[in-house]
């Protein structure tokens, strides 16, 4: 099992490599974006790592305490999606002696989420000042929840891919993100380029819900198709880093249009966290 120190290192490592990865449309090693800087994400990672590494708090408490810690060091929403994905993963890994045990442990954590987790989570989302959520007739984020956090995520799963992970036991991350990250690393890519490869794979399979909420489904599908086209080129030699010029050009284009595939970036961070767990537990 991972101790607190190991878990804290894994959390920071995943956050650091995610933001440094050359993922088109996000803050990355090449350029800032969306009124945020790379250092904002590094500060946020340092703030949440010691919080999320604790075994005792509930998932909801981990989420709320992490966002409070984040807002104490930055004045922008750098990591709400990351925290929402990391909290149940960190809670689950405390009970794992091997990475093979993680899916079952995670499922147990998710099934045991209750209304108190929802209350804490809703407060954290309001504190983070997340954009593009809109107003919902039921279970609106500005109201006091009366259902479990899992039920709330089930309600939101059709318009939020992070919520969807709560309802499918992180299937997209475990069955798509992680294998493709590992594949790219095995082909000799750096962690940063392998992360960008996993990001593009996820982006080519699932329309980014932050984009669809802010710009419409047509825009999200266009980004999906562009990701797929890049990956067709990459398939010729299995090295995304050989297409650095294309990545930089698309990154610039997306940021010029204020298009941010932020949900997919958060899922990439969770992919990196699970990869770190796997290395530490092996």
The pTM for the full model equals: 0.95
N-term to C-term CA, the chain:
10
The answer to whether 47 touches 80, Cβ cutoff 8 Å, is no
Interhelix angle 80-93/59-71, rounded to 10 degrees, is 140
Rounded Cα gap, residues 69 and 73, in angstroms: 7
- Asked if the model's pLDDT at residue 281 lies above 90, the reply is yes
Work out the mean pLDDT of the chain and round it to a whole number.
94
Of the pLDDT bands very low, low, confident and very high (cuts 50, 70, 90), residue 55 is: very high
Output the CA torsion 241→34→7→163 (10° steps): -100
Q: What are the domain boundaries of the chain?
A: 4-281
Q: Which two tokens stand for residue 234?
A: 């990459």
148-205, pLDDT tens digit by residue? Answer: 999 999 999 999 999 999 999 999 999 999 999 999 999 999 999 999 999 999 999 9
- Asked if the model's pLDDT at residue 135 lies above 80, the reply is no
Counting residues of the chain whose pLDDT is more than 90, the rounded percentage is: 87
CA dist list (Å): 38 to 28, 145, 178, 197, 212? 6, 34, 24, 20, 24
Tokens 């699970």 correspond to what residue? 274
CB atoms within 10 A of CB 186: 10
Rounded Cα gap, residues 23 and 219, in angstroms: 17
4-281 classified as CATH 2.30.110.10: no
Of the pLDDT bands very low, low, confident and very high (cuts 50, 70, 90), residue 139 is: low
């Amino acid at each position: 099992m991972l101790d607190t120190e190991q878990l804290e290192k894994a959390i920071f490592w995943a956050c650091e490599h995610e933001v440094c990865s050359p993922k088109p449309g996000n803050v990355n090693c090449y350029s800032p974006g969306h009124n945020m800087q790379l250092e904002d994400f590094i500060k946020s990672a340092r703030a949440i790592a010691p919080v999320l590494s604790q075994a005792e708090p509930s998932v909801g408490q981990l989420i709320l305490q992490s966002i409070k810690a984040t807002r104490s060091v930055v004045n922008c929403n750098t990591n709400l999606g990351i925290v929402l994905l990391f909290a149940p993963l960190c809670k689950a890994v405390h009970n794992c002696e091997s990475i093979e045990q993680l899916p079952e442990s995670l499922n147990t954590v998710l099934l045991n989420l209750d209304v108190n987790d929802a209350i804490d989570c809703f407060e954290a989302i309001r504190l983070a000042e997340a954009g593009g959520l809109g107003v919902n007739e039921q279970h609106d984020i500005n109201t006091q929840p009366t259902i479990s956090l899992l039920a709330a995520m089930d309600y939101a799963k059709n318009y939020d891919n992070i919520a969807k992970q709560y309802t499918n036991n992180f299937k997209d991350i475990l069955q798509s993100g992680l294998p493709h990250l590992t594949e790219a690393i095995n082909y000799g890519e750096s962690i940063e380029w392998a992360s960008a490869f996993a990001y593009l794979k996820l982006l080519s399979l699932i329309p980014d819900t932050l984009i669809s909420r802010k710009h419409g489904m047509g825009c999200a599908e266009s980004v999906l198709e562009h990701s797929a086209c890049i990956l067709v080129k990459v398939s010729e030699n299995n090295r995304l880093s050989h297409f650095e010029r294309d990545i930089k050009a698309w990154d610039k284009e997306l940021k010029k249009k204020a298009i941010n595939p932020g949900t997919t970036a958060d899922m990439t961070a969770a992919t990196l966290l699970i990869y770190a767990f796997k290395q530490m537990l092996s």
